Chains A and B, each alone.
Chain A
Amino acid sequence: MSITVLLLITGLGLGALYFLVASGLSLIYGLMGVLNFAHGAFLTLGAFIGFEVSRAVGATTWPGFAVAVVLGALAGAAIAALSELLLIRPLYQRHIEQVLVTVGLGLVTVALYEGIWGTDPIFISGPAWLDRTTSVLGANVPNDRFLAIGAAVAVLVGLVLFLKHTRYGLVIRAGVENRAMVTALGIDVRRSFTLVFTIGGAAAGLGGVLASQYFGYVSAHLGGTLLIFAFIVTVIGGLGSLTGAALAAVLVAVPQQFANYYLGIGDLIAVLALALVLLVRPSGLMGAKAA
């Protein structure tokens, strides 16, 4: 029983990380038709900035950790916004080239991170509470799981509220459905491109700081590893659907944890799930709509 609870909550924590990456991927794809291969790099930058901040201000205290989280998210947002403005925008409407450019950006950034922070993982620690465990139904669950889950839920709720109740959210939802018609209503849809990149980058940066707590280290390849699973989650959830991504994140991560524990083949489960979903429903669980 206790092991089931532990695996379940750990799986949810992993799913939370997947969602933090996949939410941005999904929105970006839904609105712009661009699969962003640089998204992992946004996450990794968030993780490294979080790490640097903790070194500088001492992230073993809660205020220090909070600063690390905020700056990590801001770093993710900043690099994402710059990428959109400098690399994606000049290739407006040329989707293949846009994807290629994000592939290139992914290569460049990872190489740069390796140059700056080295190739080996750097082990880190946060506030003492995160390293402790909480007993849930007899299972000793590491606290960082709860933090990841809480953050992902907050991001999901925040994004849904944003999409439902703001003018920008309205434009994004409409753009996911029919971008050309949005421009034909006199709206400069490119501004929302930058916006979704920024939002997605912020979520990824936040995910980076939390992922480094979850795994206990930062490395230049942190984002790349998560990105592949986030892709799977995005496709299973239905490209462009936020709630689909949330659902799929859980559906991928939890079985993955169980399969890893009992069979040692968790990663294969995720792939099988993808094949299965695409065979049964080629458009993913939720099709394309923003919320």
Chain B
Amino acid sequence: MNEVRFGQAINKALADAMTADPSVIVLGEDVARPGGPFGVTRGLLDRFGPERVRDTPISEAAIVGASVGAAMTGLRPVVEIMFMDFVTLTMDALVNQAAKARFMFGGQLSVPMVVRMPHGGGINAGPQHSQCLEAWLAHVPGLKVVCPATVADAYGLTRAAIADDDPVIVVENKALYAAKGDLPDTAAATPIGRARTARAGRDATIVSYGAMVPVALAAAADLGRDGVDAEVIDLRSLQPWDEPAVLASLARTHRLVIAHEAVEAFGVGAEIAARMSDVGFDELDGPIVRVGAPFMPPPFAKTLEDWFRPDAAKIVAAVKRTMA
């Protein structure tokens, strides 16, 4: 067991995958010689050489498009998009090419590629460097989307994404890169599509993912002091998401709050709420309450960003509302 940072766990996952499979390559802006804008790919160039670890020009559309062609021709590319906000420039390659190729060509092939992209605020990076756009991608049939919250899952979901035969988006919250946690020497892949119970509880379920999981745990601790025993479910995968696990938790607690950093409207929480109000209707003893950012671009100034990002107090208030 080693204590490592979240970013280092991803680095180890990349290195282990590259060691295990020569068809895995890593490419992106500043990922090779500089070691990545957030240092996640540090050392890979030295270990695996310039053929497999490539600094690319600032050409998001071409590098993701090229990853589709490379995946069709026997490689397993792992691309880094420096900020998730830049996914806008890759949308044709992701949505019209990668996501559809298998279906559209009658199941002739798979497109095994991974696109890593940091999302989220907390570093005052402003409206074009802080967004959480994962709902866009989760809305596209053919794409998978995962979002780790812990060091173990940063490793495990990255390994699973690379091993997966379909295009997988790994959403990494910037605020988590420096977080520390234990990574077993024999760390394993985390199966895509399976949630984790981050805290067991009987009174209310808080479903969350990514950097909101520790916030939800803090909210649960606060609620505990008020005698409310909240369960926290870490989704880990957003597409597919673990509907049975969420339903099972709801069936125990009968109250549901969904919390994410992305804007609340039309988000991942909306999908979960809609499904639970259908398949979980009989279990509900209160309204399903969502906690998300207000419907606006992420602001820059510290006071504004702090207000914009959901915090534990908002989750506590949401749980109290569904229990009222």
- Indicate, yes or no, whether A interacts with B: no
